[in-house]
Structures are given as structure tokens and as C-alpha cells.
Amino acid sequence: MANSAVKSVFAPGLFKSRVAIVTGGGTGIGQAISRELAHLGCSVVIASRKADRLAAAAEKLAVDCREGARVHHTVCNIRQEADVQRLVSETLDKFGRLDFLVNNGGGQFVCPASDMKLKGWNAVIETNLTGTFLCIREAHRQWMKRNGGSIVNIVMDAYKGWPMFAHSAAARSAVENLSKTLAVEWASDRIRINCVAPGIIYSETAVANYGEQGREVFLRSKARVPARRFGHVEEISAAVAFLCSPAAGYVTGQTLYVDGAVSLYRTQFFDVPEFEPAEGWYWEESSKAKL
């Protein structure tokens, strides 16, 4: 039976007999997505690189499953093509189908672009962009081309750029465009593909990613959010559940911003330092404004 602590606005049994893969499903947002899907009757395969963390997460998620749903975990480095191929084939061997793919796995680190080493750039691009592409492609090749399905990519609230995260902003923006492209290319395969762009979502995992200053980073950022609060991981999982559900049957190639309107406000969590600006180009000296 499902754990009564799990709350969802969706009807119990909504995803009965359905099967999902959630990459990065062992912690934070990914765990919340897996938990809600399982609560709604979906069998879930969670995947990431860390076996011990996956096993612990799967044990917790198992108590949230509605009757008939199961949780399976498998180690997968989404940057490795063979790993991704095995992830999809293992899911099909175990459950016989694949209805939903949620690409949540990824990573980044804080670094000025001028200091970024090629190794670090490649690592983020290969994980966030190439890894996502490999998962999408294999889901299509092995099941969805013949049977349809729904794909949701977790991207970045980088509508106006994201200084200090040039690698991730570039990769996640590319995933958005990839999603738009495939929404058209694979429409005839009855595949819907959308993105969710989280704003500032609080979780212990997210705080830990920023080290000792994690909580301070979150506290400083609250004033830049029009909603004047952080988002909850459950608000992301609800958005994913909606996009997987029949209610979104006519929604594809879109990005759903779950961000308290921060993308429409002061999106840059980066203050440009004072400096002597360059003069503009003037065709005639007399046109210079005297201010």
C-alpha cells in the first residue's frame, strides 16, 4: 500500500501499469519525481552512477508504491552509450514496456567561463546534453518508435543566461531546442517531448551542492524571486506528472517554467562589477550626447 505521507493532486492509480525511467532518480528532484510516479501506480526504474545511494533510495521509494507498482534501480553513467543501451533494455526485460522517460540526471559546477578547463566543459556538456540525447535516442529506438510515449527533460531556468554556469546553460538550452526539434520529428511516432525548467528549488541535496555556503546562497536568492519563496521538489514532480498524463495529451515541444516568475524578473544571480564602459560608435562627433 502507498505511504499516506505522500501527497499528490492527481488521482490515485493515474499511472497504473505504466513504466518510467528516471535518471538521477535517487536524490533531490529526481527522487521526488520517482516518488510521485510510484505513488500514482507507475513502476519506476531509477538510475544514476552511485550504487549505494540508488539502493537506499529504492528502498525508501518501495513503500510509496501503489499496489502493482515496483521500483527497480540500476547503475548507469548516461555519458556512456553502452550503459544507456543497457538501462533501456534492462527496463524492457523487467517490465515489458516503457511509457515515460524523465531525463533528470546531470550536473554542473560554479566557474567563470574564462577559468573553465576543457575537461570540465566537456564533462558537463557530455552529461547534460549528450547523456540526455543518448537516453532519448535509446528510448525511441528500443520502444517508443513503435509504441509512443512521453519524454520530460529537466532543464535549467536559463532564459536570460546564467553567468558562472556557461557550460550548463549552453547544454540545457541545447536540450530545449532538441526537445522542440524532436517534438516535430517524432510526432508521427506518437511521442510527446517537453521540458520542465525549475527555478530555485530547495532540497538538502541542492544546499549541499554549494558546500559550506549553501544555505547562505539560498537565503540571498530569495529576494530575487517574485513569489518570495523557494519552490518545493514536489512542485517539480507535479509538473512532470502533468506532462506525462493524458491531461497534457496535446502538449509537446514546450518548456514549463516552475520558478515563481523568477525568469521574468531579476534572473541574473550575478552582479556586474563597476567598470569604465567603452564609448559607443558615433558616425559624427557632434552626435555625442552631453549628459
Q: Which residues sit opposite 22 in a β-bridge?
A: 46, 102
Phi then psi dihedrals of residue 202, to 5 deg: -85, 130
Contacts of 230 (CB under 8 A, 6+ apart): 200, 201, 202, 218, 222
The yes-or-no verdict on residue 274 having pLDDT over 90 is no
pLDDT of residue 220: 77
- For residue 258, give its domain range: 19-287
The yes-or-no verdict on residue 15 having pLDDT over 80 is yes
Q: Comparing 102 with 115, which gets the higher pLDDT?
A: 102
Containing H/E element for 19? strand 19-23
Contacts of 37 (CB under 8 A, 6+ apart): 15, 20, 22, 44, 100, 102, 237, 240, 241, 244
- Round to whole Å and give the CA distance between 35 and 44: 9
* Averaged pLDDT, 206-219: 72
Does a structural domain hold residue 145? yes
Does a structural domain hold residue 104? yes
Contacts of 64 (CB under 8 A, 6+ apart): 2, 3, 6, 35, 38, 39
Least confident range from 143-152, 175-184, 189-198, 215-224: namely 215-224
Q: What is the DSSP string of 243-254?
A: HHSGGGTT--S-
How sure is the predictor about 266, in pLDDT bands with cuts at 50, 70 and 90? low
pTM of this prediction exceeds 0.75: yes
How sure is the predictor about 280, in pLDDT bands with cuts at 50, 70 and 90? low
Contact status, residue 61 vs residue 31, Cβ threshold 8 Å: yes
Least confident range from 19-23, 47-51, 169-173, 273-277: namely 273-277
The yes-or-no verdict on residue 244 having pLDDT over 60 is yes
Which residues of 30-173 form beta strands (DSSP E)? 43-48, 71-75, 100-103, 149-154
**First CA to last CA across the chain, in angstroms?**
72
The CATH number of the domain where 145 resides is what? 3.40.50.720
The yes-or-no verdict on residue 155 having pLDDT over 60 is yes
Contact status, residue 102 vs residue 20, Cβ threshold 8 Å: yes
Q: From residue 256, how far is each of 238, 241, 284 by CA, in Å? A: 11, 12, 47
For all residues of the chain together, what is the average pLDDT?
89
Instruction: Pick left, alpha or beta for residue 15 (phi over 0 → left; psi -120 to 50 → alpha; otherwise beta).
Output: alpha
What's the domain count of the chain?
1
Does a structural domain hold residue 283? yes
In the structure grid, which three cell numbers stand for residue 95, read together? 517490465
In the structure grid, which three cell numbers stand for residue 86, read together? 543497457
Residue count of the chain, please give it. 291
pLDDT by residue (tens digit) across 23-34? Answer: 999 999 999 999
Task: Determine the residue type at 289.
Answer: A
* Averaged pLDDT, 228-250: 96
pLDDT of residue 1: 43
Q: What is the DSSP string of 205-251?
A: HHHHTTGGGHHHHHHHHGGG-TTSS-EEHHHHHHHHHHHHSGGGTT-
